[in-house]
Amino acid sequence: MGKAIPLAARAKHLFSLNQSEMNQYARDGFLIRPAVFNSAELVTFRSAAERAVAVAYERCHDGHTYILDGHRFVDSDYLTVQFEHQLDSDTIRVIEPVHELDPVLETLVDNPKIVAPMCDLVGQTDLALWTAKLNLKRPQEGSGFGWHQDSPYWLHASSYVDLMPNVLVAFDDANQHNGCLRVIRGSHKKGCLAGKNDGSMLSGFFTDPTLFNEVDQVCLEVPAGSLVFFSQHAIHGSLPNTSDFPRRALIMTYQPANQPALKSGQVRNTPLFFN
Ligand X SMILES: O=C(O)CCC(=O)C(=O)O
By CB under 6 A, name the one of 15, 145, 147, 229 that touches ligand X: 145
User: Taking the complex as a whole, how short is the minimal distance between the CB of residue 133 and ligand X, in angstroms?
Assistant: 5
Q: Which of residues 150-209 bind ligand X (CB under 6 A)?
A: 150, 179, 181
Q: Which stretch binds ligand X (CB under 6 A): 22-30, 56-64, 230-238, 264-272?
A: 230-238
According to the binding rule CB under 6 A, does residue 133 interact with ligand X? yes
Report the nearest approach of ligand X to the CB of residue 44 (Å): 21
Nearest approach in angstroms of CB 166 to ligand X is 8
**Residue 236 host element (H or E):** strand 236-238
Question: What gap in Å lies between CA 243 and CA 13, rounded to an integer?
Answer: 39
Nearer to ligand X, 128 or 249 (CB): 249
Residue sitting closest to ligand X (CB): 238
Contact 241, 142 (CB under 8 A): yes
Does residue 220 bind ligand X (CB under 6 A)? no
Output 48 or 251, the one with its CB closest to ligand X. 251
Dihedral-angle region of residue 78 (phi above 0 means left; psi in -120 to 50 means alpha; beta otherwise): alpha
Q: Which is nearer to ligand X, 42 or 249 (CB)?
A: 249
Query: Cis before residue 97, ω within 30 degrees of 0?
Result: yes
**Count of positions on this chain that bind ligand X (CB under 6 A):** 11
Using CB under 6 A as the binding rule, whether residue 236 contacts ligand X is answered as: yes
Q: Give 190's Cβ-side CA count (13 Å radius).
A: 17
Q: Residue 238, interface with ligand X (CB under 6 A)?
A: yes
Contacts to ligand X by CB under 6 A: 133, 135, 145, 150, 179, 181, 236-238, 249, 251
